[in-house]
Amino acid sequence: MTAIDFPPARRRAASTTADHGISAHRVIGWLWISPILLGLASTLVYPTLFLVALALSKSTLGKPFRSFVGLRHVRDVLQDPLFVTSLTKSIAYAFITASTQLAIGFLIALLFSQLLKAGRFLVSLILLPLMTPPVMVGVAWKLILAPAGGLLNGVLLNLGIVDAPVSFLGDPVFAWFAIAVADVWQWTPFVVILSFAALSTIPEGVHEASIIDGASPLQRFWHITLPLVAAPLSSIYLLKLILSFKVFDLVYVLTFGGPGFATTTTGFSIYRRALEQFDVARAAAETLIYSLVIGAVLWPVIRIHQHLERKDA
């Protein structure tokens, strides 16, 4: 049996028709994604190019792009010990608070998931800190930690634990601890909600079968629950890490970067450089370096997350 051999003219016509069909299909495809491309160009590409241009030029808040200075601002930023210190503190703060919130949030979600219907009600109830604006959270914790008339100092004095009011926000260590506690208080419910949703996806039959097989609660947790929610938990951890790198409101309200520069995060340093000293070129250079450092620090976490997702699929 031989294949049908069409004349050359018919083959060219069929090929041209197919090419036109593919071209029209591609045009329609580009039209569908054009709003997304325009959105990315206006919210990602343009601000990035603007930021790079600012970092490479002599610019102030009122007069940007006065002259080209090359990498001078980048070199100055890397040689600034205060910026390097703030960078180190921001990274440590992000990992500590994100890990703490994931641990506490997941344990609470695990507890709520054992309560069946009551768990959903408690998850809704725990949303209150998350709905509070970050500035209000900072003000509330500032009142709690105030040395004069603060709730915590009043409790410690009444219990006889301290003889005189403690200035929590005036001590470098306690000030960081206060910011972290306020952060954990506000964002742990966010982790609880997402963890509870992840736990809800585990089929009930899996646990029932393991109970019949005689598995203990600890064995069920390590060998069933944790592996089944590992991928969603890595997503939650990655998201919370990114949010922790952006901490600003609590630092602004609680300590304003002090005492001294003790609690100055990189985000707060950029704010002061741009809107207090009006050195937007230097602030742009700090922002670029901070973005690159965040990308480098998050890369291992992203790789672990991708590995867990592939394993889960």
- Find how far residue 91's CA is from the centre of its chain: 12
User: How do the domains of the chain map onto residue ranges?
Assistant: 82-312
Long-range pairs, 123-128, Cβ under 8 A, ≥24: 123/192, 123/193, 123/196, 126/189, 126/192, 126/193, 127/189, 127/193, 128/189
Q: What is the pLDDT of residue 299?
A: 93
pLDDT of residue 100: 95
Q: Say how far apart CA 248 and CA 252 lie, in whole Å.
A: 6
pLDDT at 15: 61
Q: Cβ of 237: how many Cβ atoms within 10 Å?
A: 20
Fold of domain 82-312: MetI-like fold (1.10.3720)
pLDDT tens digit sequence for 73-130: 999 999 999 999 999 999 999 999 999 999 999 999 888 887 766 666 676 667 777 7
Sequence-separated (6 or more) residues with CB below 8 Å from residue 8: none
Bond before 259 cis per omega within 30 degrees? yes
Let me know: does 249 contact 258? Beta carbons within 8 Å: no
Q: Is the CB of residue 74 less than 8 Å from the CB of residue 55? A: yes
Query: How far apart are the C-alpha atoms of 24 and 18, rounded to whole Å?
Result: 10
Whole-number Å distance between alpha carbons of 6 and 12: 10
Q: What is the pLDDT of residue 1?
A: 43
Cα–Cα distance for residue pair 81/116, rounded to 1 Å: 52
Mark the ranges of the chain whose per-residue pLDDT is less than 50: 1-3
Closest by Cα among 134, 108, 138 to 123: 108
Percent of the chain with pLDDT over 70: 89
**Tokens representing 183?**
């952060």
In the chain, the amino acid numbered 230 is: A
